[in-house]
Amino acid sequence: MRIARVRALIFVCALALIAGVATAWAVRSDSQQDYSTDRCESGDIEISLAIPDTEDISLIILNGTDQSGLADQAAQQLEERGFNVVDVGDSEERNETPAIIYSGPETFGAGLHAWAYFHGGRSEFSLDYDQEAVTIILGSRFQQVKTESDARLTFATRDRITAPEGTCSIE
């Protein structure tokens, strides 16, 4: 072997050694937390933080105003965006915000996804909420449902999704 080949071989081996040491250091000093069920405290309810696709989300749209046809208008817009609207009606609860989105342990991710489609909407989570669909009560400040690109932007600018109090993430 020529001296140039020996030097090249030594150089490549040194680079491989440096890469191996750097990889081992990065894995050892990884600061990301493990959010497995081992972190659940006694009595916490396990929930999934996964955000389902729109076609997998069932919605109940209720009109919390005196304006007739508001729930039908929102339901049509949400169906155009791929949501499954299972019921439309009026709410006894009056709402002054654009929308209140109610979800529970089984519908938490779906509720967050639906929340992203409402300008100024408020997400409400309850451990006692046991419906299979997310309930949305439209308010007097509701104007229209966000576009898909606006909803994606809402998710992109949102802080990390965390499990609500009394729950823990199973993912």
Each of the 171 residues of the chain gets a pLDDT tens digit; together they read: 788 888 999 999 999 999 999 998 888 887 665 544 456 777 788 888 888 999 999 999 999 999 999 999 999 999 999 999 999 999 998 988 999 999 999 999 999 999 999 998 899 999 999 899 999 999 999 999 999 989 888 877 877 778 888 888 876
Structural domain contains residue 140? yes
Residue 159: inside a domain: yes
The amino acid at residue 90 is D
| Residue 75 belongs to a domain | yes
Residue 13 half-sphere exposure toward CB, CA atoms < 13 A? 6
Domain count, the chain: 1
Residue 34 is assigned to a structural domain of this protein:
no
**Alpha-carbon gap, residue 27 to 140, rounded angstroms:** 52
Give the model confidence (pLDDT) of 26-73 as tens digits. 888 876 655 444 567 777 888 888 889 999 999 999 999 999 999 999
- Report phi then psi at 132, rounded to 5: -85, -10
- Evaluate whether residue 12 is within a structural domain: no
Tokens of 44: 């916490």
Model-level pTM? 0.73
Q: Which two tokens stand for residue 149?
A: 């690109």
Residue type, 36: S
Q: Which of 142, 72, 141, 137 has its CA nearest to residue 102?
A: 137
Please tell me the predicted confidence (pLDDT) of residue 168. Answer: 86
**Looking at the domain assignment, is residue 17 inside a domain?**
no
Asked whether residue 16 is assigned to any structural domain, the reply reads no
User: Token digits for 97?
Assistant: 């915000």
What domain range is 77 assigned to? 45-169
For residue 29, count other CB atoms closer than 10 A to its CB: 7
| Domain assignment present for 154 | yes
The helix/strand/coil state of 144 is coil
